[in-house]
């Protein structure tokens, strides 16, 4: 069930990137035209609908959240030296690193310009929520960088990092939508916690699919995280059981996957994803029944069962 709603893709398409200099704005249009799930702006609209509000007032913030999200992707791709994003060359490959950095900077500015269209009586509160989220996303990205070089990383460390890097943007999108629509503090908090738990489940599911997904539907080769030596939830969980995991397996995908299965880490990941998803759905108990609430529940179930 999907609530009849504003067409986010259409609204994003209405944003004008035909300005000069083309070297600054064309990469922005390119990045935003690549599509994606558009989960963050959709969550902002659902946050409003779930508390009985109108989504039109939330549209500027929804668009700002999507532009901000794509700004982080431009810079992430430079940092990760990623060559492909959503089936197309990344901006720094199609143009160059300097372009990706500068166009990304401009996207952040454009996000704040869009926020300027939020109803005046809500603008200060929205900026407070947005700024807190933006800072936390940067903190999460820095922790991710730090953990690549840090020898001892715990599962608690990892959960803190993905909470900041992934979850807070989902959670804040929902909270901003509810805030603009005059949701109560309890409703805003419930939606925020739903977003946090959904984001945690989403990221661990991503780790899981990288190991046990179907390459045909996942869209990339299995075991990429293992080959890159990333400290994922599965890797850290296996390390608790087998302290010499690095010596035993190194970056050998087949050996590592076998350890994951034999040690019970694969099954543990499945249970943790299901637990966090159920927790997200439970967070919605504060909300009144509505088509928007049903869609949020269905979204959690869809992400739980996703294959890509």
Question: What is the extent of the structural domain holding 123?
Answer: 8-304
* Cα dihedral sign, 207-208-209-210: positive
**Per-residue confidence band for 269, with pLDDT thresholds at 50, 70 and 90:** very high
60 part of a folded domain: yes
Asked whether residue 3 is assigned to any structural domain, the reply reads no
Instruction: Give the count of beta carbons closer than 10 Å to the beta carbon of residue 246.
Output: 14
Q: How many domains does the chain have?
A: 1
Domain annotation covers residue 205 = yes
Q: Give residue-wise pLDDT tens across range 193-241.
A: 999 999 999 999 999 999 999 877 766 678 988 998 889 999 999 999 8
CATH of the domain at 90: 1.10.600.10
Instruction: Average the pLDDT over 154-171 and give the result.
Output: 98
- Whether 267 is covered by a domain: the verdict is yes
**pLDDT for position 3:** 64
Domain-located, residue 104: yes
pLDDT of residue 250: 84
Alpha-helix runs per DSSP H in the chain: 8-13, 22-32, 39-50, 59-80, 91-94, 97-115, 120-149, 155-162, 168-180, 185-212, 215-218, 224-227, 233-241, 245-249, 253-262, 265-283, 291-304
Q: Which has the closest alpha carbon to 126: 197, 65, 38, 199?
A: 65
Report how far residue 232's alpha carbon sits from residue 307's, in angstroms, rounded to the nearest whole number: 18
Mean pLDDT of 86-114: 97
113-141 per-position pLDDT tens digit:
999 999 999 999 999 999 999 999 999 99
If you search the block for the tokens 């087998």, which residue do you land on? 242
Which tokens sit at 185?
């503090």
- Whole-prediction pTM: 0.94
Residue 2 has pLDDT above 80, yes or no: no
More confident residue, 148 or 44: 44
Q: Does 2 map to a domain?
A: no
The confidence score (pLDDT) of residue 245 equals 83
User: 49: Cβ–Cβ under 8 A, 6 or more apart, which residues?
Assistant: 3, 5, 55, 177, 181, 290, 291, 292
């Amino acid at each position: 069930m999907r609530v009849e709603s504003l067409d986010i893709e259409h609204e994003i398409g209405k944003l004008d990137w035909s300005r000069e200099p083309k070297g600054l704005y064309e990469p922005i249009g390119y990045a935003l035209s690549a599509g994606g799930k558009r989960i963050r702006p959709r969550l902002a609209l659902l946050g409003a609908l779930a508390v009985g509000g109108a989504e039109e007032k939330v549209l500027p913030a929804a668009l700002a959240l999507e532009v901000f999200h794509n700004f982080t992707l431009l810079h992430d791709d430079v940092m990760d030296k990623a060559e492909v994003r959503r089936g197309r060359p990344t901006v720094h490959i199609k143009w160059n690193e300097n372009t990706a950095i500068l166009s990304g900077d401009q996207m952040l500015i454009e996000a704040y310009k869009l926020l300027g269209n939020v109803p005046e009586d809500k603008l200060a509160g929205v900026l407070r929520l947005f700024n807190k989220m933006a800072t936390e996303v940067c903190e999460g990205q820095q922790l991710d960088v730090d953990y690549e070089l840090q020898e001892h990383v715990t599962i608690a460390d990892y959960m803190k990092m993905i909470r900041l890097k992934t979850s807070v943007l989902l959670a804040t999108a929902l909270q901003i939508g509810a805030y603009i629509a005059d949701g109560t503090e309890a409703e805003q908090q419930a939606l925020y916690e739903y977003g946090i738990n959904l984001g945690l489940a989403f990221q661990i599911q991503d780790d899981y699919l990288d190991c046990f997904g179907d390459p045909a539907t996942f869209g990339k080769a299995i075991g990429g995280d293992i080959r890159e030596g990333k400290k994922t939830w599965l890797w850290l969980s296996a390390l608790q059981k087998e302290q010499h995991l690095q010596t035993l397996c190194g970056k050998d995908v087949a050996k590592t996957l076998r350890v994951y299965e034999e040690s019970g880490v694969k099954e543990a990941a499945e249970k943790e994803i299901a637990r966090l998803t159920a927790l997200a759905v439970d967070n919605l108990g504060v909300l009144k029944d509505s088509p928007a609430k049903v869609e949020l529940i269905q979204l959690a179930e869809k992400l739980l069962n996703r294959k890509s």
